Amino acid sequence: MPFAATNGTVWNSVADYRRAAAAALGQLTPIRDAGPLNEQAIPLVAVVRNEIALVGAFLDHYRKLGVGRFFIIDSGSTDGTFEFLKEAPGVDLWWTTESYAKANHGALWHDGLLHSRARGRWCLRTDVDEFLAFRHMDRGLVPLVRSLQEAKELRLHAPMLDMYSDRPIMETAIQPGDDPLHVCCWFDGTPDRMESRADGLWVYGGVRGRLFFRDYPGGPGLTKFPLVLYDDETAFVTSHSPLPHSRNFIAPKGRLLHIKLHAGLLPRARWAISSRQYWQDSFEYKCYFLELGRNPKLSAHCAISRKYEGPQSLADMVLI
């Protein structure tokens, strides 16, 4: 059955998408490659660009959870991210300046790497500003995978949860070496708004919905499935609802703590708008840019804010 990818391309089959993903690997220049994974390793794949403020904390967070290898694609960093990753242990690194949008917003690169190197095993696909949290996360990923298997679930539903500070967004600075979850330790303690769609159970809104998308009732889609059993049926054709869609009708058991609402948002929005590399001609980033331009003192913190002090904070709000 045909399906549409994030960038609007329609594919006739998963096999066609696989062939395109394999071809897209030719756009990546290998910088460091440690070879085959060991039998038990859980790999993580991500695309980065100019994430020097977050990348160290990101690697540390997922190492503590038990990630065995990182497959990182740098798509043209100029802020020291690439140089940092070249020296980071456990990182297999590729470099590209090819179009992120034409690569299905990086998903063709993700799928090419996972299908060629990690087929048949549990894998993570996240962005560098997403920090996975779940019950008993101090025990790591292996017990989580075991519990999913016992529930006959082949992926983890972990919607984004936008984190923020108690200061204005443009006055919230994150420096290399900071713990982003200490700087941005607040979240909206409100129930999810969920909708069942053809491609799965979707979560909408959150703090970005109330701050930036008041004129667009749907708000941003928050649903993500970052941890999946990557078998022959699986494909990350979008970052929100991987194939097969039949596996996406499951309740959230985790959250991706999303570090977006800080002083780096405005310059990132400016670049996203000029580069036109993001979904729907960078529509989302245009909303950020316009609202922060109108209100440079905009703050997310308010009466419904709750402080994050570990996964129990999310359980108390029935978010996991």
For the stretch 236-267, pLDDT in tens is: 988 789 999 999 999 999 999 999 999 999 98
Q: Name the pTM for this structure.
A: 0.95
**Does residue 118 surpass a pLDDT of 80?**
yes
For 144, phi then psi, to 5°, come to: -65, -45
Average pLDDT, the chain: 92
pLDDT of residue 284: 82
CA distances from 298 to 170, 171, 236, 247 (A): 8, 9, 34, 38
Give the highest mean pLDDT range of 24-33, 213-222, 268-277: 24-33
Q: How confident is the model at residue 191 (pLDDT cuts 50, 70, 90)?
A: confident
pLDDT of residue 9: 74
| Nearest CA-CA partner of 5 in 272, 241, 185, 218 | 241
**Does residue 4 surpass a pLDDT of 70?**
no
For 194-207, what is the mean pLDDT?
Answer: 91
Question: What residues does 11 pair with on adjacent strands?
Answer: 3
Torsion of CA 174, 90, 252, 6, to 10 degrees: 80
Residue 108 gets the label, from left (phi > 0), alpha (psi -120 to 50) or beta, of alpha
Cα separation of 37 and 117, whole Å?
Answer: 8
Beta-carbon-side half-sphere exposure of residue 241 (alpha carbons within 13 Å): 18
pLDDT of residue 104: 86
pLDDT of residue 279: 62
Residue 121, SS3? strand
Cα separation of 125 and 225, whole Å?
Answer: 8
Residues whose CB falls within 8 Å of the CB of residue 77, separated by 6 or more in sequence, listed in order: 48, 49, 50, 51, 52
**Does residue 25 surpass a pLDDT of 80?**
yes
**Does residue 31 surpass a pLDDT of 70?**
yes
pLDDT of residue 6: 63
**Does residue 121 surpass a pLDDT of 70?**
yes
Cα separation of 5 and 17, whole Å?
Answer: 9
For 91-106, what is the mean pLDDT?
Answer: 92
Q: 151 with 61: CB under 8 angstroms?
A: no
pLDDT of residue 230: 96
Q: How confident is the model at residue 270 (pLDDT cuts 50, 70, 90)?
A: confident
- Residue reference for tokens 């990348």: 55
pLDDT of residue 311: 96
